[in-house]
Structure 1
Amino acid sequence: MLDVRRMQVLRAVITSGSVTAAAAHLGYTPSAISQQIAALERETAVTLLERAGRGVKPTAAGLLLTRYAAVISEQLAEAETALADLRAGREGRLSLRYFASVGPTLLAPALARIRREHPGVAIDPKVADPDDALSEVYEGDADLAVVVRPPTGALHGIRVVHLLDDAYQAVLPAGHPLAAKRVIDLTDLAGEPWVGSEPPGPCLAPLIDACAAAGFSPDFAARSEDYATAQGFVAAGLGVSLIPRLGLSARHPGVAIRRVRHPEPVRTIHAVVRETSLEHPVLRTLLDALKDAAGE
């Protein structure tokens, strides 16, 4: 493989017209320059320079290598500029994974801030199962994931950032007797038919665990895996439901929303990133924006 540094020395000799002039420009001794040229001629097995009066002139091979050295020099300069832009957050791409209910409430304002502060950075957000999203971050296929619960065990090189605790709230038909209360004990819902709003997994677990702590298991009369449909089922009188606060950004006019206590079911929401990715200024801005959105 050709030595790029030696090719740049050859280019300096040819453009300056002599070994002595190139040595002065590069800060080397003429002997060091000659040694570099000799080593490059051994690598290429061709003569690159020949005497011309008090100076030197390139052979055809020397001219050929000089043209490529110029291209390499230009590309290296472009690479240095691109790397500086990446370090400064002026360009690049971030790949994000999230689950649906945080899209409008957490992710949208955070991405709007990234667009304002880092307009040259492309963002690739995709909905993903929380467990799959964590794996993608760990394996380097995504830069950040918003997940419902942190990893159950320590993952080397992974940083987990708590964003918020998202409490579940009771969703009742508008005319339900319990709607007269401002706060509902979870046991008040024990004898009610339930509308499921979560698929099996980390979002359903805190709801089931809270009901178990209150001494009962919910009796699901209907199930839905999206919050809008679950609210529609409740409004139609099919049962009551528990939906996290972030899932109630769009409320059905036919339901009443009430706080729950004793206990209050809560899901914890975290951002997961690789430790090495925290060097990226745009990712740090995104984390700050997610925390700000969570605080609001």
Structure 2
Amino acid sequence: MTLDDLRVFVAVCRAGSLSAVARDLGCTQSAVSQHVKRLERETGVALLERQPRGVAPTQAGRVLEGAAAEGISGLDLALRQLRDLVDGHSGSVRVATGATTVRHFMSEAVVTFRRRHPRVNLEFRTVSSGRGSFDALADGTLDLVWITLGPPVRGIEQRAVVELPWVLAVRSDDPLADRTSLTPGELTGVRPIRLPPNSTSAAQLEAACAESDVRLGYDTSVADWDTALLLAELGVGRAVVPALPGLTVPSGTRLRLIPLPGLRPLSVGWAVRRWEALSPPARAFADTVLDSAGARPA
């Protein structure tokens, strides 16, 4: 008993004619009859009975026809969904990131992806730690994690999307506000607002400063870059932060951003379990973010 046998049998029951189905399939009536006979041999019952005009299913035939039609319909739907999944037209993409990342790195990409793949479900999740994100990738709970690139992690692949230069954020009345740039050495004694001490971005900043023999001291700490910028604008302190994509200082605000070209830039991008194992929708979303980031300056 094959799927073709069942498809042909259902078609015969609905058409009431072996010859009509043969014409539709472009084969002989004998070939159609063989499909039915194979089913009758395997079920051990007669499935069709001849009538003055054509054929009709027996009681057993009606039972098989109903079950086969329902199963074929469900299978056809599953096959269409699988084709959509392979083509990247449906399915889901589970991404670990936060509002800051979506705002500065993914806003254009999300709009573009949603327009191109309206039936793909985008799931944005918050994970409390980088280790937790990597564990979720490993067990298949997540597809993509947006990270500050760090040391290699066993079983995880990292791919840079954009490099972010560092800037010093100060209030407009700060003595450094009129500077066009600063060297790393001029950060000595600045005591900026601290990024989360256990974060990769904080570690990368300290490593970049250490390359210029600069050791930073801190008075205030925050959980994210946007909060550091807000505190700098309020005059609570100064903040060394990455020059986030789309980060501008609107006229009339008290915030000033001073480039720090001497510090090694911060690399951010994707972490996945294996790139070649990504589903087509997940790969499409990762590539859309990459294209979006490459189309605009940091």
* Alignment: residue pair count: 291
Structure 2 residue 73 is the aligned partner of structure 1 residue 74: yes
Cα distance, 1:26–1:163 mapped onto 2, change above 3 Å: same
- Partner of 1:152 in structure 2? 152
* Greater displacement, 164-173 / 224-233: 224-233
Task: Give the counterpart letter for 1:287 in structure 2.
Answer: D
Structure 2: gaps (5+ residues) = none
- Partner of 1:187 in structure 2? 185
Secondary structure of the 2:258 match is strand
Offset at 1:81? 4.2
Offset at 1:58? 2.5
Are the equivalent residues in 2 in contact too, given 1:114–1:285 (CA < 8 A)?
yes
Secondary structure of the 2:278 match is helix
Alignment of 1:154-233 (within 5 A): 155=155, 160-233=158-231
Offset at 1:233? 4.3
Cα distance, 1:238–1:187 mapped onto 2, change above 3 Å: farther
- Partner of 1:112 in structure 2? 111
| 1:122-145 deviation line (CA, Å, top 9, x unaligned) | 322233344444444454333333
Residues of 2 paired with 1:57 and 1:98: CA distance?
60
Secondary structure of the 1:11 match is helix
Structure 2 length-normalised TM: 0.77
Secondary structure of the 1:177 match is coil
Are the equivalent residues in 2 in contact too, given 1:114–1:286 (CA < 8 A)?
no
Cα distance, 1:16–1:117 mapped onto 2, change above 3 Å: closer
Cα distance, 1:295–1:204 mapped onto 2, change above 3 Å: farther
Task: Give the counterpart letter for 2:276 in structure 1.
Answer: E
| 1:153-179 deviation line (CA, Å, top 9, x unaligned) | 5748x5x54321012211234444333
Secondary structure of the 1:171 match is strand
Cα distance, 1:151–1:122 mapped onto 2, change above 3 Å: farther
Offset at 1:107? 0.9
Structure 1: gaps (5+ residues) = none
| 1:188-227 deviation line (CA, Å, top 9, x unaligned) | 2222333213341211111110222222432222211133
Secondary structure of the 1:123 match is strand
Cα distance, 1:100–1:207 mapped onto 2, change above 3 Å: farther
Secondary structure of the 1:246 match is coil
Larger strand proportion of the pair: 1
* Greater displacement, 143-152 / 183-192: 143-152
Structure 1 length-normalised TM: 0.77
Residues of 2 paired with 1:231 and 1:20: CA distance?
77
- Partner of 2:140 in structure 1? 140
Cα distance, 1:11–1:107 mapped onto 2, change above 3 Å: same
Task: Give the counterpart letter for 2:145 in structure 1.
Answer: A
Cα distance, 1:90–1:199 mapped onto 2, change above 3 Å: same
Identical counterparts, % of pairs = 25
Offset at 1:240? 3.1
Residues of 1 paired with 2:59 and 2:144: CA distance?
53
Residues of 2 paired with 1:27 and 1:86: CA distance?
31
